[in-house]
Amino acid sequence: MMRQKDNHDAVNRNILRTFQYVDIPEKHQGKVLNICFDFLNDNCQPIAIRAFSMTVISNLSKKYADIIPELKISIEALMPNASSGLKSRGKKILKTMNKL
C-alpha cells in the first residue's frame, strides 16, 4: 500500500509509525527496507515519514548489519539541510550504530 501514488501522506506516516514497534515478517523485510530507503532519501517526503523510515531501517539493521553503511551515508547526506527533528533522530541513530 505504501507504493501507491495516490496515498495521503498520513497513510504512509501511520504505517511507518507502526513498523517502528512491530516485528516485520521476514518475507516483507526486503520490500520494507527498499521503501524506507526511498522515503528517507526523498527530500519531498514529509519529515515524519523520513524520520519513521530512518527508525525502521535502523531496527532492521540489527538483523542485517550490511545495511548499516548505507544508512549512515543516507543520514549524513541529509543532516546539513535537515529539520531539527530529522537531525535529532539522525544523531540518535548514528550514536547507537557507532556503539555496535
As for how many domains the chain has, the answer is 1
12-21 mean pLDDT: 96
84-96 mean pLDDT: 95
Q: CA 44, CA 32: separation in Å to the nearest integer?
A: 19
Would you say residue 94 lies in a domain? yes
Predicted confidence at residue 97, as pLDDT, reads 87
Q: Name the residue range of residue 34's domain.
A: 9-99
Backbone φ and ψ of 45, nearest 5°: -75, 150
Verdict on whether the full-model pTM lies above 0.85: yes
Number of C-beta neighbours around residue 4 at 10 A? 8
64-76 mean pLDDT: 95
Q: CA 79, CA 86: separation in Å to the nearest integer?
A: 8
Compute CA 46 distance to the chain's CA centroid, rounded to the nearest angstrom. Answer: 12
Would you say residue 79 lies in a domain? yes
23-49 mean pLDDT: 96
Would you say residue 21 lies in a domain? yes
38-63 mean pLDDT: 96
Would you say residue 46 lies in a domain? yes
Predicted confidence at residue 6, as pLDDT, reads 87
Helix or strand run (H / E) with residue 31: helix 26-41
